[in-house]
Amino acid sequence: ATTLDASAAAKGRYFGAAIAANKLSDPVYTGILNREFDSVTAENEMKWDATEPRQGQFTYTAGDRIVNHARANGMKVRGHALLWHSQEPSWAQSMSGTALRSAMMNHVTKVATYYKGKIHSWDVVNEAFADGNSGARRDSNLQRTGNDWIEAAFRAARAADPAAKLCYNDYNTDSINPKSTAVYNMVKDFKARGVPIDCVGFQSHFGTTIPSDYKANLQRFAALGVDVQITELDIEQGSNQANAYKQATEACLAVSRCTGITVWGIRDSDSWRTGKNPLLFDSSGNKKAAYTAVLNALNAG
């Protein structure tokens, strides 16, 4: 096929992009989105600070613009993210203990209920593990409410929207390393104890290369009985960019439970990684060599 989404669909996968509601009025941006992608993630609009800026007062205007655009154009929506230590509203940043735990679970329930039936996969918890070799949870006010906060969030999300796939999402977990192994052990424990988890998201914010054990890492998680998704892919521009995108695409296609790929933005000018030009379209909206490499990898075989 001649577009990313149709080529991925022929292999049983979705191909998505992170998008910003305030760019949907840009015809170049929306033209590429509608032509090439069949899944979207809100880059910021469904986060806690955006959806509950004051405690108990929920605002869905920007998130709804994304959901409505997706539904009108036959796209799936990945929900991102119900609980994350970053981009907490200021009122939550100053909370702790049982009051914070109640506020967290209320947030999960309210947002997942509001979007019930419209979300393909939710990032229920984002980035809860520490970097480095400790394998520990990341310290945060969320974590200090008790080590069971993650499973409590997954149970609350399942109760609110039983049809959504519930994902744990993180970065620096793309290779086999102490951080990814800690996540692996959590997922294994959740599956053994019946905690509702369906998928693991691998953000995949890469430098100029992808890890040699990327596919093996995706495969070991899939073997636990969860889907895996590449959720925030971007790869720094350089002489290896197209090849690295090809390898990332091939890794997903080689793992039967890798259900889709999302790139973290559309044009280089849309990326959070200023100056790295890490996406598939240049700032004018032209297809890059990386685009062709992904398209050809999706169509191979």
Residues recognised as catalytic: 232
Of 38 and 232, nearer to ligand G3I (C-beta) is 232
Give the pairing of strands 14-19 and 258-263. Answer: parallel
CB of 86 to ligand G3I, least distance (A): 5
Q: Does 229 bind ligand G3I (CB under 6 A)?
A: no
Residues 239-298 that bind ligand G3I (CB under 6 A): 272
Of 23 and 287, nearer to ligand G3I (C-beta) is 23
Inter-CA distances, 283 with 37, 66, 83, 278, Å: 18, 22, 32, 11
What's the rounded Cα separation, in Å, for the pair 235 and 241? 6
Residues 123-152 that bind ligand G3I (CB under 6 A): 126
Of 87 and 299, nearer to ligand G3I (C-beta) is 87
DSSP class of residue 102 equals H
Residues 157-186 that bind ligand G3I (CB under 6 A): 171
Q: Does 234 bind ligand G3I (CB under 6 A)?
A: no
CB of 131 to ligand G3I, least distance (A): 13
241: enclosing H helix or E strand: helix 241-253
CB of 181 to ligand G3I, least distance (A): 20
CB of 167 to ligand G3I, least distance (A): 12
Q: Does 43 bind ligand G3I (CB under 6 A)?
A: yes
Position with the least CB separation from ligand G3I: 272
Judged by CB under 6 A, the residue of 203, 247, 259, 262 near ligand G3I is 203
CB of 78 to ligand G3I, least distance (A): 11
Q: Count CA within 13 A, CB hemisphere, residue 43.
A: 16
DSSP assignment of 10-79 equals TTT-EEEEEE-GGGTT-HHHHHHHHHH-SEEEESSTTSHHHH-SBTTB---HHHHHHHHHHHHTT-EEEE
What's the rounded Cα separation, in Å, for the pair 251 and 247? 6
Q: Can you read off the two tokens belonging to residue 295?
A: 């398209």
201: enclosing H helix or E strand: strand 199-202
Judged by CB under 6 A, the residue of 3, 34, 87, 299 near ligand G3I is 87
Q: What are phi and psi of 255, to 5 degrees?
A: -115, 115
Of 203 and 237, nearer to ligand G3I (C-beta) is 203
Of 45 and 250, nearer to ligand G3I (C-beta) is 45
Q: Does 232 bind ligand G3I (CB under 6 A)?
A: yes
- Tell me how many degrees the CA angle 45-50-56 measures, rounded to the nearest 5: 135
CB of 128 to ligand G3I, least distance (A): 12
Contact in structure between 252 and 226 (CB atoms under 8 Å): no
Of 245 and 264, nearer to ligand G3I (C-beta) is 264
Judged by CB under 6 A, the residue of 30, 34, 44, 299 near ligand G3I is 44
Residues that bind ligand G3I (CB under 6 A): 43-44, 86-87, 126, 171, 203, 232, 272
